[in-house]
Amino acid sequence: MSKTNWKKGGVCLLSLAFLLTACKGGSDKPTTADTAAKTPGGSVTVAGTDTEPQEEFTDAAPTSAQISDYKDDPQVEELARQVEEKHGIDIVYGEDVRRNFGNEEEDLRATAFTSAEGIKTAIRSVDEAFSAFPKGLTSQLADEKRGTLKVYLLGAVGQGDNAPESGAYPAFTDNEDPELFLAIDISPDGFINVPTVSHEFTHVIDFRMHEMGKFDDEGWNKLNPEGFSYVENYETYATGEFANKYSYTEYHYTPRKLTQPPEDVYFVYNYGTVSALEDRATLLEPLIIYRMWGHDTIAPGMYEFPHIQAKTEYFLKAIEAAFDLAPEDVEIWKNAYEKLANKTEP
């Protein structure tokens, strides 16, 4: 089914004081067709394009339409266990989820989500998002202090005294938190903005590489245009000095005719000028979408720009060097990139 009408919801918030990242907004869900494509249907095919073997989880349709609470449906736990094992993560759902995140300045409060079907839908999407990355990467993000990556499947989330609102914080992580986690709002029906989760997951990888001392920021900054520095401001990036100057598109994947020479394209869209973290996460988005869904329509030709290539390759090589990944898994990832970069025959 075509997913060409897919749009990513909202913008990320990143409080530089404590690196809580959250992708806010999200009223523009995928089209009905996209949502229908993700509706549970008896079994789930694990995402994988290219040469990756596909895998199926046993997950029969509910025996009774009455099943609604996750506690009454043993399939929820079984599916969670399978996906946890596959990716080396902990999936926390239902009443067991954490309710408070952030700090005094920016505290987020989450509610519980308890629908069995919704939780199962969400778990399949988590699997889809993580499967787009090289195998074994998720489990290697764990460290002695913060442990295994926890994936919280939450109900609606609100900030401070504001009432929780579905989709207000689709996904977020916090590098300063004692826990290594990725929190996802799966209300009201288990639907997840999968690319947003992948975007946040890219931040988690990035944080971890920095903690390990395995990312050379100086080298990275040299890949940007002369005189450029990140705006470091989530409010002004779209109207500031660098807006539209070096970006492929203005906002997400809104098609646009370049107003600059191809040699002056350094960012996917203006949001990438906010910070190096957002730059790298947005640079990987088209590759991840391609890995998940097999199409490159969200930013066609993007990886053919020389500076986009240099930056993407720098980041991909850094990931490859920082983690212990099987060569065949890196190969799948690399082949996908090279195809999009038009470096191999189609």
Contact residues for Zn ion, defined by CB under 5 A: 12, 278, 281
* Residue 217 beta carbon to Zn ion: minimum distance, rounded to whole angstroms: 17
For Zn ion, the closer of residues 117 and 278 by Cβ is: 278
* Residue 251 beta carbon to Zn ion: minimum distance, rounded to whole angstroms: 15
For Zn ion, the closer of residues 217 and 345 by Cβ is: 217
Q: Rounded distance, CA 274 to CA 251, Å?
A: 13
For Zn ion, the closer of residues 281 and 322 by Cβ is: 281
Instruction: Name the residue whose CB lies closest to Zn ion.
Output: 12
Phi-psi region of 285 (alpha: psi -120 to 50; beta: other; left: phi over 0): alpha
For Zn ion, the closer of residues 183 and 281 by Cβ is: 281
**Looking only at Cα atoms, what is the longest distance across the chain?**
63
- In this structure, the strands spanning 90-92 and 20-24 are unpaired
* Residue 263 beta carbon to Zn ion: minimum distance, rounded to whole angstroms: 27
* Residue 271 beta carbon to Zn ion: minimum distance, rounded to whole angstroms: 8
For Zn ion, the closer of residues 204 and 322 by Cβ is: 204
Ramachandran angles phi, psi of 335, nearest 5°: -60, -40
For Zn ion, the closer of residues 127 and 278 by Cβ is: 278
For Zn ion, the closer of residues 82 and 282 by Cβ is: 282
* Residue 13 beta carbon to Zn ion: minimum distance, rounded to whole angstroms: 8
* Residue 16 beta carbon to Zn ion: minimum distance, rounded to whole angstroms: 12
* Residue 21 beta carbon to Zn ion: minimum distance, rounded to whole angstroms: 5
**Which residue type is seen at 279?**
D
* Residue 75 beta carbon to Zn ion: minimum distance, rounded to whole angstroms: 33
For Zn ion, the closer of residues 157 and 281 by Cβ is: 281
What contacts 337, CB < 8 A, 6 or more positions away? 287, 303, 312, 313, 316
